[in-house]
Amino acid sequence: MSSCFILLFFAYCILIGLVTTSKPLSILLIAPVPSHSHHVWMTNLMKGLLRKGHHVHVVSTHEIKIKDKLAQNLTYDVFDGLMKVMEESEADYNPVEWEQYSIFYMMYSAYQWGIHACDTVVKTKAAKKLLEMIKTVEFDIILQDITLNECLFGLWEIVKGKSPIVGYIPYSPAPWLKDITGGPNYPTIRPYAYLPVAKPIGLWQRTWNTVCFTVDDFIRHYYFLPIMQRLAEKYVGHAIRPLHEIEKNGIDIVLLNSHPAFEHGIPLSPNILEIAGLNAQAIKPIDGEIVVTYPEDMRAFLDGAKNGVIIVSLGTNVKWKFIGLEKIKAVLLALSKLEQRVLWKLDIEVPFEIPDNLMIVKWMPQSEVLSHKNVRAIWTHGGLLSTQEAIWKGVPMIVMPFYVDQKFNAQKLVAKGVGIFLDIKTLSTQTVLHAVEEILYDERYTRNMKQLSSEFRDRPISPLDLAIWGIEYAVRHPNGTLATPLRYQSWMEQNLIDVYAFLLFNFTVILLSIFLIIKVFIKFYYRIYTTFNNKLHKRKQA
C-alpha cells in the first residue's frame, strides 16, 4: 500500500511539473544605455532569465562576461565603440563641479546626454544589424532599457510578429515615468529626482517640486521628444507614429527599480512591477552553489579584519582625480587613525604612503564584498544601485553625493537614520573621522539599517522572480490588460481639469441664473410697486 502511494505521489509531482513548467522563451534584450550601473543591473536580470532556461539574445553597450553553463542559451552583440565614444566625450566631466549648477541645468543636461547617446548608438554596426534582425526574426518578447533612448522605440513599430514589449528602468525616480504608465507625478509625495530633499514638506517645497516636474515635462515634450522623433525615423528609414503614442501603447509591463521601503510609495498600476534589490541578489550557478569570486588577497584582507572593515567606493562615474590630491591626503590621514581595516576603490595612483590598515584596489565586486561578515560600513556616493546593495545587506552608510539623484538618495538615508551625510566641500581629516566614528559607534545606524533591510527584503516574492514572472506574463497575455486606462487619458482628463471646469461652468451658470431671476423679480416687483404708488398718489390728488 505504501509503495503504491509513493508511486502515485511521484506521478503527481511529475504531472504538476509538466503543467507548471513553461516552455523556454526566445527573448531579445536591448540594453542601449552607456552606463556601467545599468549594465550591472541588466546582467543580474539576464542571468535570472538564463537560469530559468530561456534563450536570450542581448544587444548591449558592454561585452557579456558569462563563462559558466548559464551562457549556453546566450548570444549577444555589442554596440561597437559606444562606450569609448561616450567616455571620450565625458573625459573632462567633473562631478565635483555640479555643486554650482542649477536644477534646471541638470535636467536639461540629462536630456542632452540622452540625445548624444541615442545619436551615437543608432550609427553603430550592431544597431544596423538589430534593425534588420528585428524585421526577420520573431522573438517571443522584447525586453528593453527605456531610459532616455526613445530613438529605439521605432523598432517596436516594425518588429516581426508584434512581440510584446517589457521595459525596464534601473533609475527609479524617473520624472517621465507617468508618460509611460499614466497618472500624475505625485509632487506632494515624491520629490523631483535632482532635488536634495527626502520629502517635499510645506507649501514652498511642494510648490518648488511641482515647478520642477512641470519644467521637466515641458523640456521633454517640446525639446527632447521632437529630436528623438527625427533620430528614430532616420534610424528605421520612414515616418512613424509620435513617440509619446508609441511609449503609451507599446509597453505591456514596466520593471521599475524602486520599493516603498526606501522610496516614498506612490499608487502604481498593476503592470508596474517594483523590483528594487534585483541587482543585490546572488544568482546561483546552474550546477552548484553560489561561489564568492573576489580575489584571494582581498578575501584574506577581509577575513583578517578583527575590528571590522569599512568599504570606500564612489561608483564608476565619480573619479577621485577630480576630488584632488590634497583631499585624498586628508582622507588617508583620517583612515590611518582607525583600528578598522579599509578597502578603498581608488581609480588613481597616489604619491603617499599607504597605511597598513588600508588596501587600495582598482575594482571590487561590491555586492559580494558587502556580504562579508566583517564589513561594518560603506562610504559611497549615494548612487541608487550602491544604496540598494547596502540596504539589502544591512550595512550602514556614509554618503558623499555629487549630482543627479545622489543628493536625493542621501537625504532619504539620513532621514531614515541609516546614513550620515559627508559634504565634499568640507571634506577633511576631521570630517571623515567624525563621520566614520559616528557610523561605527552609534548603534542606532546599524539597528535602523537592519530594520530597513528587513522591510526592503520582506516580500511575497523576490525581486528577480517577480521580474521574470512579469516577463513571462507579458508573453502569456500580450494585450496589456494590467495597464491602467490613465495612460490613454490626457493631462486634463487625468487631473479632472475638464470635470472641475464643467462643474465650475455649471455652478457659474446656476449662480448667474439665480442672480438674473432675482434681478427680474426685483424689477417686476419694483414696477408693480411703482405703478400701485402712482395710482394711489393720483387718487389722493383727486
Q: What's the CA gap between 479 and 427, in Å, rounded?
A: 54
Is 137 exposed, middle or buried, given 0-12, 13-18 or 19+ CB atoms closer than 10 A?
Answer: middle
Q: What is the rounded distance in angstroms from the CA atom of residue 88 to the CA atom of residue 101?
A: 22
Question: Given this model, what pLDDT does residue 12 score?
Answer: 37
160 belongs to a structural domain: yes
Tracing cell 577575513 back to the chain, one arrives at 303
Q: Are 449 and 391 in contact (CB under 8 A)?
A: yes
Q: What's the domain count of the chain? A: 3
**In which domain, by residue range, is 509 found?**
490-524
In terms of domains, do 407 and 479 share one? no
Q: Are residues 211 and 335 in the same domain?
A: no
Q: 247: closest CA among 185, 156, 160? A: 156
pLDDT in tens, 356-411: 899 999 888 888 899 999 999 999 998 899 999 999 999 999 999 988 788 889 99
Share of the chain above pLDDT 90, in %: 54
- Interatomic CA distance for residues 388 and 172, integer angstroms: 11
pLDDT score at 5: 39
Question: Where does residue 418 rank: exposed (0-12), middle (13-18), buried (19+ CB within 10 A)?
Answer: buried
> How many helices (H) and strands (E) would you count in the chain?
21, 13
Residue 305 lies in a domain: yes
Predicted local distance difference test score (pLDDT) of residue 34: 86
What pLDDT is stored for residue 359 in this prediction?
93
120 and 63 both lie in a single domain: yes
Same structural domain, 53 and 183: yes
Q: Is residue 540 part of a domain?
A: no
Q: Does the residue 453 lie in any domain?
A: yes
In tens, the pLDDT along 221-234 reads 999 999 999 999 99
What pTM was computed for the model?
0.86
- Cα gap 406→403, rounded to integer Å: 6
Q: Is 512 inside any structural domain?
A: yes
What's the rounded Cα separation, in Å, for the pair 144 and 170?
A: 11
Rounded (5°) CA angle 375-380-386:
80
Binned at pLDDT 50, 70 and 90, residue 92 comes out as low
Of 439, 457, 475, the domain-final residue? 457
Instruction: Tell me the pLDDT band of 154, cut-offs 50, 70 and 90.
Output: very high
| 60: β partners | 31, 78
Q: Which of 135-149, 266-280, 304-318, 468-482 shows the highest mean pLDDT?
A: 135-149
Q: What pLDDT was estimated at residue 150?
A: 93
Give the three cell numbers for residue 376.
Answer: 561594518
User: Both 69 and 205 in a single domain?
Assistant: yes
- The answer to whether residue 529 is domain-embedded is no
User: Which pLDDT does position 285 carry in this prediction?
Assistant: 65
Q: What is the pLDDT of residue 45?
A: 94
Task: Note whether 202 and 81 are same-domain residues.
Answer: yes
Q: Are residues 225 and 338 in the same domain?
A: no
